[in-house]
Structure 1
Amino acid sequence: MEEKPLEAENQPAYSIYTQRQKAYIVFMSGLGGFFAPLSANTYLPSIPSLPGYLGVSPSLINLTVTAFLIFQGLAPSFYGDLADIAGRRPAYLISFIIYIAANIGLASQSSYPALFVLRCLQSSGSGGTYALNSGVIADISTPAERGRYMGAAQSGIMCGSVYLIVFAITVPETARKVVGNGSIPPTAWWSRSLLSQVARRKAVAKQPDDSAAPGEPKPCKLRLPNPFKTLLIISEKDCAVTLFYNAIIYTSWYTVTANLSNLLSEIYHVDTLQIGLCYIPFGVGAALSIVANGYIQDWNYKRYARSHGFSVDKERGDDLANFPLEKARLNIVWPFVYVGAAAIIGFGWAAEMKTHISAPLILTFAMALFLTACYNSMNLLIVDLYPNSPSTASAASNLTRCLMAAGGSAVIEPMTRAMGTGWAYTLIGLLIIALSPTLCIVTRYGPVWREERRVRLETRAAARQCSAEQRA
């Protein structure tokens, strides 16, 4: 994948959006980014009741969870590249049209084949929002403030059809390959929102006749999205190691969420409504984690900048070539890893010993609080490593973690049946701890691998320029 070196772009400012405009863009991105976990998690409490309602075995219902995760991992590979070449707006609009159509179909069906197909279609629509969310935040924020913006953008909720209308009318295009830092007006109709067009016409009308235009329109060259670009990111050594451990953390977390409804139904004999309420600690822990971790990441970034004599530029962005980015993003993750692993082990034994229901629920809160911070931090690092293709980079993260989580959701029930709930989750917690030195590998060798990639890409770009000059 062709990627520019990690350097501040040669522009007057990293983005021309005001703080109020940034806040609105982040708010709308947050609302859009919520639909992927919403669609996945609201389905889980109904799992124990679906076999009887549809007349199928529990294993077939569990297969719908696995298929949902597979499509949620694959879909962003298409949306990510589309968003990086054509803009965020067309990718968002396509994903939500598919998502809304699937929801309408799910609301009117009552057969297992229809459920299976439409859940896959629903996942294909909602899965794109994860990569697009990260891409928008990378467009408008510098590395020094990206943590809190990313945290805010991943904590919204809204009705899908209303969101689509509001987004289409109000949210501007932010993709840097289409509008630069926001000063270049997009030419394609799908990249122009109604409000941005009105604002731009008013600005032009106020300009004197002999004044220069704020920026020449940038032609949008469309091509078919290339989903294999995510594989090129995964093949990079630093990304591969980070994405592997990120997938381990997410899969461990998902083995609990996917199996929680079955455990609650079997052990505590609660109904579907009560099972749904038991997921609230999960949601609260994850929401608090996302927001708090964003501020912690920004604080740690600035702390490392001060200790290394590195100046932070919130206007034009930072030259990260000689900055210990990997340490700044990952060194705070260590305590989260171990507390999260301990919470998973404790959850397994609380379920095994059939303690009061409050014990496993408190542990799910702790698990969500700490493990969500782990994989969000690693996703933030991946986006930092590919500032010019953030949606594709985020899609690579989503692909690896969702495919591994699909496998985890498929095997967790047989594991608990064969080993017992306590030992099954003990094995998962110990796996997290045993593989935690992966973080050391990234922080130790990541800067070296990053510099090797920068030199390789510069050499390749120079060779292409020389070849073009010779042909001319």
Structure 2
Amino acid sequence: MAAATAAFFSPLTASVYLPALPTVAKDFGVSLTDINLTVTTYMIFQGLTPMFVGAFADSAGRRPAYMFCFVVYMAANIGCALAPNYVALLILRMLQSAGSSTTVALAQGVVSDIITSAERGRYIGYMSLPIMLGPSLGPVLGGALAEYLGWRWIFWILTIMCGCVTVAFLLWMPETCRGIVGDGSVRPKHLYHRSLWQVGKESLATRSRLRKQAQNSGQGEGQAVAAATAAVPPEQAVTRSKFNAFRALTLLVKPSMAILLFYSSLVFANFYCIMTSIPAQFSSVYHLTDLQTGLIYLPLGLGTMIGSQLAGRGLDWNFRRHCQRLGIPYERKKQTDLSSFPLERARLEIGIPVLVAANCLVLIWGWVLYARTHIAVPCVMLCLLGITLTGFSNTINTLIVDMNPTAASAATASNNFTRCLMGAAASAAIQPMIEGVGPGWAFTILVAISTVAAPPTFWLVLNKGMGWRKEEQERKKKRAEELEKKKREGVEGGEK
């Protein structure tokens, strides 16, 4: 829950600012086109920053990465609240994105650290709730703050919220990275990998133990401390991955990852287009105020809540079904060897039907806007779109983490990178498309693109995916053996 709460900041910060754009432009004396650049640059950094911080988290640990993000984010929010001019706001929005955007990748990394593949679908559903609610709740919060307190209070509230989460993380959030704490049984060496609660608990336990030892042995407490320190066992060995700033980029060239990420970005672009088109369409068709337009996002938020839970339970059920069919032990608390397990089929058997429903609903959405129906119809449509688009998104997220268990944050960062780039392009294109051909045909074109790309994508992943995974594991095994051989040869040469 802590990781999911932190991940809420990335989508919330992106959307909470939208209702205030006209007011900010007026205050700084710039055009709406200029002020929209603060949104575009935010999305660019939202895609770029996790590529590097996610790789850092996979090697240095989740806690240091979280603390870095929180400090940068709070500093940027304070700067935005005090921004004297447009240029300062533009630069600080980039810094704000750099601080908030990686929290999504870090949350996926935490899920990969502590949850096995057998239960990962359900927990990624839990984790994605705040992430998917951010775009729905953000405009409501931002519209209310901008209308009653002024747009600068948006950033003060974000600073206060992040400060509370930072204190909670310092007090209670433990390190989860398997390269540092293994399965949780390895005591981290460095103090910054431990929460204040852990430090205090260990200190009290040590003092109590030493006091008892001193009483039983007749030693002074100082002598007992020295003896206990000398008897401390060495740290357990864990396999800690080396920091590779370009790990997320290297994942983009893996065949299965490249195919999945490209198609997932196409589908998620539909989500961005729906989000972006709502203010203009609903204000012109239904003559809603900024605050009322923000409330329209609530049905979408409800749909994302339902979709994340349904998809998570469906993914776990299908994983268990495949284990029973193949005679593989179903271990909920222990990660099993998945090299010969049809991960792609187990996940996509849930995702593909959900995708078909999502494409149909996006198509209907466009023509509902064209027909200018009663406002209740698009509200119901938004709820259904939230269910299906979130369900498919969670399916792909789960599969990507399953395919990259030792680099979950970097893999999620790659996913985030492709989505943000495609989303930025789609957000810029949807309004001209609607103005040119109308909302019905605009969304029909989007659905046609994702529908045509679906068959080759899923055929390749379902038929070639497991083979690609096995080949990669063989290459890794061969490299590890060669490295071990070189180490042995070096030791033998030194002895001679």
TM-score (norm 2): 0.84
Q: Secondary structure at the match of 2:313?
A: helix
* Matching residue of 1:191: 193
- Which of 296, 300, 307 is matched with 1:282 structurally? 300
- Shift of the 413–48 alpha-carbon distance from structure 1 to 2, 3 Å rule, reads farther
Q: C-alpha offsets along residues 251-289 of structure 1, whole Å, 9 cap, x if unaligned?
A: 111111122112222222211111111111121111222
Q: Is the Cα contact below 8 Å between 1:131 and 1:394 reproduced in 2?
A: yes
Q: Is the Cα contact below 8 Å between 2:311 and 2:350 reproduced in 1?
A: no
For 1:13-52, list aligned pairs within 5 A.
Answer: 27-47=1-21, 50-52=24-26
- Residue 138 (1) aligns with residue 112 (2): yes
| CA distance in 2 between partners of 1:363 and 1:53 (Å) | 36
Q: C-alpha offsets along residues 159-212 of structure 1, whole Å, 9 cap, x if unaligned?
A: 211011111111110101111111111122221111112233455555997998
Percent of residue pairs bearing the same amino acid type: 37
Runs of 5+ consecutive residues of structure 1 not aligned to the other structure = 1-26
- Residue 314 (1) aligns with residue 316 (2): no
- Shift of the 441–48 alpha-carbon distance from structure 1 to 2, 3 Å rule, reads farther
For 1:367-382, list aligned pairs within 5 A.
Answer: 367-382=385-400
What amino acid is aligned across from residue 442 of structure 1 in structure 2?
Answer: V
- Which of 106, 113, 117 is matched with 2:87 structurally? 113
Shift of 1:113: 2.4
- Residue 463 (1) aligns with residue 463 (2): no
- Which of 110, 122, 127 is matched with 1:148 structurally? 122
| CA distance in 2 between partners of 1:297 and 1:195 (Å) | 35
Shift of 1:221: 8.4
Q: Is the Cα contact below 8 Å between 2:46 and 2:98 reproduced in 1?
A: yes
* Matching residue of 2:353: 335
What amino acid is aligned across from residue 190 of structure 2 in structure 1?
Answer: A
Q: Secondary structure at the match of 1:182?
A: coil
Q: Is the Cα contact below 8 Å between 2:315 and 2:347 reproduced in 1?
A: yes
Shift of 1:62: 3.4
Shift of 1:230: 0.6
| CA distance in 2 between partners of 1:125 and 1:44 (Å) | 19
Shift of 1:453: 0.6
Q: C-alpha offsets along residues 265-324 of structure 1, whole Å, 9 cap, x if unaligned?
A: 222221111111111112111122223222221111111111111111223311101111
Shift of 1:43: 2.5
* Matching residue of 1:180: 182
- Residue 440 (1) aligns with residue 414 (2): no
Structure scoring higher RCO (CA < 8 A, sep ≥ 6) equals: 1
What amino acid is aligned across from residue 286 of structure 1 in structure 2?
Answer: T
Q: Is the Cα contact below 8 Å between 2:55 and 2:246 reproduced in 1?
A: no
| CA distance in 1 between partners of 2:451 and 2:241 (Å) | 45
* Matching residue of 1:64: 38
Shift of 1:383: 0.8
Which has the larger helix fraction?
2
Q: C-alpha offsets along residues 98-129 of structure 1, whole Å, 9 cap, x if unaligned?
A: 11222222223364323322222221111110
Q: C-alpha offsets along residues 202-234 of structure 1, whole Å, 9 cap, x if unaligned?
A: 5555599799868726699898x5431111111
Q: Is the Cα contact below 8 Å between 1:179 and 1:218 reproduced in 2?
A: no
57-66 vs 267-276, which deviates more? 57-66
- Which of 428, 436, 459 is matched with 1:410 structurally? 428
| CA distance in 1 between partners of 2:90 and 2:438 (Å) | 29
Shift of 1:54: 4.2
* Matching residue of 1:387: 405
Q: Secondary structure at the match of 1:332?
A: helix
Q: Is the Cα contact below 8 Å between 2:179 and 2:238 reproduced in 1?
A: no
Q: Is the Cα contact below 8 Å between 2:189 and 2:235 reproduced in 1?
A: no
- Shift of the 308–202 alpha-carbon distance from structure 1 to 2, 3 Å rule, reads farther
- Shift of the 113–353 alpha-carbon distance from structure 1 to 2, 3 Å rule, reads farther
Shift of 1:32: 0.7
| CA distance in 2 between partners of 1:267 and 1:280 (Å) | 19
Runs of 5+ consecutive residues of structure 2 not aligned to the other structure = 135-157, 214-226, 492-496
- Shift of the 262–109 alpha-carbon distance from structure 1 to 2, 3 Å rule, reads farther
* Matching residue of 1:126: 100
Q: Is the Cα contact below 8 Å between 1:187 and 1:219 reproduced in 2?
A: no
* Matching residue of 1:169: 171
Q: Is the Cα contact below 8 Å between 1:187 and 1:218 reproduced in 2?
A: no
What amino acid is aligned across from residue 172 of structure 1 in structure 2?
Answer: P
Shift of 1:249: 1.3
| CA distance in 1 between partners of 2:234 and 2:354 (Å) | 46
Q: Is the Cα contact below 8 Å between 1:186 and 1:217 reproduced in 2?
A: no
- Shift of the 222–176 alpha-carbon distance from structure 1 to 2, 3 Å rule, reads closer
Shift of 1:64: 2.7
- Residue 252 (1) aligns with residue 254 (2): no
Q: C-alpha offsets along residues 224-248 of structure 1, whole Å, 9 cap, x if unaligned?
A: x543111111111111111111111
Q: C-alpha offsets along residues 383-426 of structure 1, whole Å, 9 cap, x if unaligned?
A: 11111121111111111111111111121112212222211111
What amino acid is aligned across from residue 164 of structure 2 in structure 1?
Answer: V
- Shift of the 206–148 alpha-carbon distance from structure 1 to 2, 3 Å rule, reads farther
What amino acid is aligned across from residue 276 of structure 1 in structure 2?
Answer: G
- Shift of the 103–399 alpha-carbon distance from structure 1 to 2, 3 Å rule, reads same
- Which of 259, 268, 291 is matched with 2:286 structurally? 268
| CA distance in 1 between partners of 2:117 and 2:415 (Å) | 18
The runs of 4+ residues in structure 1 deviating greater than 4 Å are 47-54, 202-215, 217-223
| CA distance in 1 between partners of 2:322 and 2:75 (Å) | 47
Q: Secondary structure at the match of 2:454?
A: coil
- Shift of the 382–215 alpha-carbon distance from structure 1 to 2, 3 Å rule, reads farther
Report which of the two structures shows the higher radius of gyration computed on alpha carbons.
2
What amino acid is aligned across from residue 122 of structure 1 in structure 2?
Answer: Q
Q: Is the Cα contact below 8 Å between 1:187 and 1:220 reproduced in 2?
A: no
- Shift of the 194–135 alpha-carbon distance from structure 1 to 2, 3 Å rule, reads same
- Shift of the 393–247 alpha-carbon distance from structure 1 to 2, 3 Å rule, reads same
Q: Is the Cα contact below 8 Å between 1:102 and 1:119 reproduced in 2?
A: yes
| CA distance in 1 between partners of 2:396 and 2:358 (Å) | 15
- Shift of the 214–372 alpha-carbon distance from structure 1 to 2, 3 Å rule, reads farther
Shift of 1:91: 0.4
TM-score (norm 1): 0.88
- Shift of the 139–301 alpha-carbon distance from structure 1 to 2, 3 Å rule, reads same
